[in-house]
Amino acid sequence: MRETLQQKTSFAWVLLTTCCLLFIPLVGMQFSNDVHWALSDFVIMGALLLVVGSSLIFLARKLSKKQFQLAAIVVLMGFIYVWAELAVGVFFSFGS
């Protein structure tokens, strides 16, 4: 995986993956009244996904394999925390 992140097209893949992931709630909104995303939700989640993906690419290019693995865990745990915090407000009420 690390070799894939070091390719020149990796940023394009991050952008494409982000768009595909944001397409899921967009389609969900068409078929269910339980999915309520505003434009700001799409913008925030898109920015969050792009930052995480770009950070992983940057880290893969700059760090050794062991350092990258540790840094990737930290980045992904941070992403999960921010995602949960914005969604339901685990410790604060940012998303509620």
Residue bearing tokens 């992403």: 79
19-28, 36-45, 70-79, 86-95: lowest mean pLDDT where? Answer: 86-95
Which residue type does 20 have? Answer: C
Taken in order 68, 69, 74, 80, the sign of the CA dihedral is positive
| pLDDT surpasses 70 at 70 | yes
Query: Residue 86 in contact with residue 94, Cβ under 8 Å?
Result: yes
pTM of the model: 0.81
Distance, in Å, from the CA atom of 9 to the CA atom of 73, rounded to the nearest integer, reads 23
